[in-house]
């Protein structure tokens, strides 16, 4: 998978002038990083200009293309607001724990006890064995490593779901139109899930079509709906973090940046439920307006994220 790193044409002119003066690559990279550019991005841009000079070809004008694995994941400012309390349309949500790299937070008060109970009541008659997307065929299949039952809510299908969507949109700092429909999962005793990612791998036609329509998934909010007597933690093995379920609490995490990279530190799993059952309400958000299969494609010219899609490589030439 390739990623495009965009930059202002003025940066290219500045680089060409400095290279004409025989300034070293390391010096150019130091100046660019001093101006706020990520070091890996700066080195990749400089290397592309030096390579073009050596080959006698035209230098890049405003972008370079790299293999995703050629550049370490570039951390960017979190979409989640940097506050202890997040004000939503109707209630205040408390931030109990926060990580910056990768962006992750444990939240209190996302749903009230009565809302948790009502979501469970509405979802219960819809439950069906959970499926996963087969990475090769792109088809939904029941997998032995995910023992749970799931149900989906249509956007704004009733007053409660409409309210929760607005509340969650405020927490996740992305427009409502960027979100997929709520999913409820019930894990019975003994149920859980193997470590997995929420972002989409372009390994099959279904995922490639979804990515073309709506862009990559960028963040997840898992909201716990009930007490779990024992087990059922949300585990992040790469971070050494385990979050225990509590009604109304949530765990939020991000895993994609504006360069098109995905963050594999977001690997997570549901530990087996050892006693009782576990209910969660999950929301995934996309880079731009979410359009399901069969819908008209979303405009792809620009992400509707609040951040510029060129945040790590767009600035005036270094001074």
In tens, the pLDDT along 188-209 reads: 999 999 999 999 998 889 999 9
CB 175 within 8 A of CB 304: yes
Has residue 210 got a pLDDT over 80?
Answer: yes
CA distances from 18 to 58, 146, 156, 197, 275 (A): 16, 56, 56, 43, 66
DSSP state of 264: G
CB 201 within 8 A of CB 135: yes
**pLDDT value for 142:** 57
Angle at the Cα of 61 (from 55 to 319), degrees rounded to 5?
105
End-to-end, the C-alpha distance of the chain in Å comes to 34
**pLDDT value for 66:** 87
Distance in angstroms (rounded) separating the CA atoms of residues 130 and 150: 5
**pLDDT value for 25:** 94
Residue 17 burial (C-beta neighbours within 10 Å; 0-12, 13-18, 19+): exposed
Distance in angstroms (rounded) separating the CA atoms of residues 286 and 268: 19
Q: How confident is the model at residue 244 (pLDDT cuts 50, 70, 90)?
A: very high
Which residue's entry shows tokens 């992305």?
174
**pLDDT value for 317:** 40
Q: The pTM is what?
A: 0.81
pLDDT tens digits for range 110-120: 999 999 999 99
Which residue's entry shows tokens 């009733």?
158
Peptide bond into 257 cis (omega under 30): no
Q: How confident is the model at residue 319 (pLDDT cuts 50, 70, 90)?
A: very low
- pLDDT greater at residue 116 or residue 297: 116
Has residue 261 got a pLDDT over 60?
Answer: yes
CB 207 within 8 A of CB 215: no
- Pick the range with the lowest mean pLDDT from 174-178, 201-205, 251-255: 201-205
Q: Mean pLDDT throughout 281-308? A: 65
In this structure, what token pair is assigned to residue 211? 């990515």
CB 266 within 8 A of CB 197: yes
**pLDDT value for 70:** 82
Residue 77 burial (C-beta neighbours within 10 Å; 0-12, 13-18, 19+): exposed
Q: Is 131 helix (H, G, I), strand (E, B) or coil?
A: coil
DSSP state of 87: E
Distance in angstroms (rounded) separating the CA atoms of residues 310 and 299: 18
Contacts of 316 (CB under 8 A, 6+ apart): 8, 10, 35
**pLDDT value for 318:** 43
Q: How confident is the model at residue 183 (pLDDT cuts 50, 70, 90)?
A: very high
Q: Mean pLDDT throughout 155-172? A: 97
Residues 11/13/18/19 CA torsion (nearest 10 deg): 110
Residue 231 burial (C-beta neighbours within 10 Å; 0-12, 13-18, 19+): buried
Distance in angstroms (rounded) separating the CA atoms of residues 229 and 166: 31
């Amino acid at each position: 998978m390739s990623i495009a790193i965009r930059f202002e044409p003025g940066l290219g002119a500045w680089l060409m002038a400095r290279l004409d003066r025989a300034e070293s690559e390391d010096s150019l990279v130091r100046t660019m990083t001093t101006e706020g550019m990520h070091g890996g991005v700066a080195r990749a841009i400089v290397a592309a200009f030096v390579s073009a000079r050596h080959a006698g070809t035209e230098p890049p004008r405003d972008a370079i293309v790299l293999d995703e694995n050629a550049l370490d994941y570039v951390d960017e400012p979190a979409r989640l607001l940097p506050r202890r309390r997040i004000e939503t349309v109707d209630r205040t949500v408390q931030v109990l724990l926060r990580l910056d790299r990768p962006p992750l937070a444990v939240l209190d008060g996302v749903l009230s006890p009565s809302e948790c109970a009502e979501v469970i009541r509405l979802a219960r008659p819809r439950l069906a064995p959970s499926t996963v997307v087969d990475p090769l065929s792109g088809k939904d299949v029941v997998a032995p490593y995910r023992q749970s039952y799931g149900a989906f809510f249509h956007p704004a299908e009733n007053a409660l779901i409409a309210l929760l969507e607005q509340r969650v949109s405020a927490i996740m700092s992305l427009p409502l139109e960027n979100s997929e429909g709520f999913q409820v999962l019930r894990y019975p005793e003994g149920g859980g899930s193997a470590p997995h990612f929420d972002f989409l791998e372009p390994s099959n036609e279904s995922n490639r079509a979804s990515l073309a329509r709506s862009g990559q998934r960028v963040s997840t909010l898992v909201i716990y709906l009930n007490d779990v007597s024992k087990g059922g933690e949300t585990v992040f093995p790469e971070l050494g973090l385990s979050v225990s379920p509590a009604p109304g609490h949530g765990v939020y995490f991000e895993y994609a940046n504006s360069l098109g990279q995905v963050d594999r530190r977001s690997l997570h799993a549901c530990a087996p439920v050892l006693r009782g059952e576990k209910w969660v309400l999950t929301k995934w958000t996309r880079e731009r307006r979410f359009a399901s299969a069969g819908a008209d494609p979303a405009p792809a010219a620009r992400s509707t994220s609040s951040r510029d899609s060129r945040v790590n490589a767009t600035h005036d030439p270094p001074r």
